[in-house]
Structure 1
Amino acid sequence: MKNQHHQVYDTIIFDLGAVLIDWNPRYLYNKFFATEAEAAHFLQHVCTADWNEEQDAGRSLQEGTELLITQHPEYEAAIRAFYGRWKEMLAGEISASVEILRTLKNSGRYKLYALTNWSNETFPLALVEFPFLQWFDGLVVSGREKQRKPYHSFYQLLLDRYQVNPDTAVFVDDNLRNVKAAEECGISSIHYLHPDQLKDELAKKNILS
Structure 2
Amino acid sequence: MNNAAAKQYSNLVFDLGAVLIDWNPRYLYNKIFTTAAETEFFLQNICTSDWNEEQDAGRSLQEATELLVSQHPEYEAQIRAYYGRWQEMLGGPIEETVAILRELKESKRYKIYALTNWSNETFPLALVLYPFLQLFDGIVVSGREKMRKPNAAFYDLLLQRYDIKACDTLFIDDNERNIRGAEACGIDGIHFISPLQLKEILTEKAVYLSTSLSN
Q: Which consecutive residues of structure 2, in runs of 5 or more, have no partner in the other structure?
A: 210-215
Post-superposition offset of 1:168: 1.0
Indicate the residue corresponding to 1:165 in structure 2.
165
Matching of residue 29 in structure 1 with residue 29 in structure 2: yes
Q: Normalising by the residue count of structure 1, what TM-score does the alignment of the two structures yield?
A: 0.98
| Number of the residue aligned with 1:13 | 13
What is the deviation of 1:164? Answer: 1.1
CA distance in structure 2 between the partners assigned to 1:139 and 1:89 by the alignment: 22
* Structure 1 equivalent of residue 213 of structure 2: none
Q: Name 1:86's counterpart in structure 2.
A: 86
Alpha-carbon shift at residue 85 of structure 1 (Å): 0.3
- Corresponding residue for residue 191 of structure 1: 191
For residues 70-90 of structure 1, what are the alpha-carbon distances to aligned partners after superposition, in whole Å with 9 as ceiling and x for unaligned?
111000000000000000000
- Deviations along 1:181-208, whole A, 9 cap, x unmatched? 0011100100000000001111111013
SS in 2 for 1:115: strand
Give the aligned CA root-mean-square deviation in angstroms: 0.9
Partner residue in 2 for 1:129: 129
- 1:5 shift after superposition: 3.8
1:47-82 Cα offsets, whole Å, 9 max, x none, are 000000001111000000000001110000000000
2:185 maps to 1:153: no
Structure 1 unmatched runs, 5+: none
Superposition deviation, residue 147 in structure 1: 0.4
What does residue range 34-73 of structure 1 map to in structure 2 within 5 Å?
34-73=34-73
| DSSP-derived class of the 1:19 partner | coil
Report Cα offsets for 1:151-206 as digits up to 9, x if no partner. 00000000000011111110000001001100111001000000000011111110
**What SS class does the counterpart of residue 140 from structure 1 fall into?**
strand
Identical-pair percentage:
65
SS at match of 1:113: strand
AA of the residue aligned to 2:74: E
- Answering whether residue 107 of structure 2 is matched by residue 107 of structure 1, we say yes
Give 4+ residue runs of structure 1 displaced > 6 Å after superposition: none
CA distance in 1, matches of 2:5, 2:193: 23
Aligned to 1:59, what secondary structure does the other structure show? coil
Hey, what does 1:202 align to over in structure 2? 202
Distance 1:168 1:144 in 2: 25
Map Cα deviations across residues 138-160 of structure 1 (whole Å, 9 max, x no partner). 00000000000010000000000
